Amino acid sequence: MMDWLPYIIAGVIVLYAIVIYNRLVALRNTRFNAFSDIDVQLKLRFNLVPQLVETVKGYAKHEKGVFETVTEARAAVSKTEGAGTERAAAESFLGRALTGLLAVAENYPDLKADASFRQLMSELSDIENKVAAARRFFNAATNEFNTYLQQIPNNLIAKPFGFKEEPFFELEDGLEEQIRKAPEVKF
């Protein structure tokens, strides 16, 4: 029996390492899946932007700089992928540009009363709410992954297999509320 003890201990250690590795893979995949939910909503927002810009352009012909900024921000988003900090920064830039566009819209009462503009704003608000919910889920999955990764002995298994801490997906402070706030429509 004593001859088998080292093999039993080694087997238990290998089995435990396999369990840790499999859990890390599962958590990483949950995080990827959570980001795909964010990505779907961000693509919907991305596709809504040109319609919103064209609607506002019809009323606010003098606001060329705002339209250029929105176009530039949309282009920056199209050049990024994944859940990294570059993507979050590009999405924040687009969010700031949309906030500027909505501020311009506030100056045009006829635009605010326009049915298609109100419909687009309703869609944008809905998308922003869904992005916020998906981002909360993604950040919770990221937190769970990072926490599990940092714990001993998990970190001893994770490092040799290339697992590393992942960033959260965060917008700038206050930006989310500015984007989500629908403009006030007065008749």
pLDDT score, position 171: 67
Tally of CB atoms within 10 A around 108: 16
pLDDT score, position 158: 94
Q: What are phi and psi of 83, to 5 degrees?
A: -110, 20
Is the pTM here over 0.85, yes or no?
Answer: no
pLDDT digits (tens, 9 = 90+) for 64-106: 777 788 888 888 888 888 777 788 888 888 888 888 888 877 7
pLDDT score, position 46: 87
Residues 100 and 69 sit within 8 Å (Cβ to Cβ): yes
- CATH of 11-180, picked from 1.20.1440.20, 3.50.50.60, 3.40.50.920, 1.10.3720.10, is 1.20.1440.20
Residue environment code for 10-32, b if the CB has 16+ CB neighbours within 10 A, otherwise e: eeeeeeebeebbebbeebbebbe
Q: Is the pLDDT of residue 58 over 80?
A: no
Residue range 102-119: mean pLDDT, rounded:
77
Residue environment code for 144-183, b if the CB has 16+ CB neighbours within 10 A, otherwise e: ebbebbeeeebeebbeeeebeebeebebeeebbebbbeee
**Strands (DSSP E) found in the chain:** none
Residues 84 and 138 sit within 8 Å (Cβ to Cβ): no
> Quick check: bond before 153 cis, omega within 30?
yes
pLDDT digits (tens, 9 = 90+) for 125-173: 888 889 889 999 999 999 999 999 999 999 999 999 999 999 998 865 5
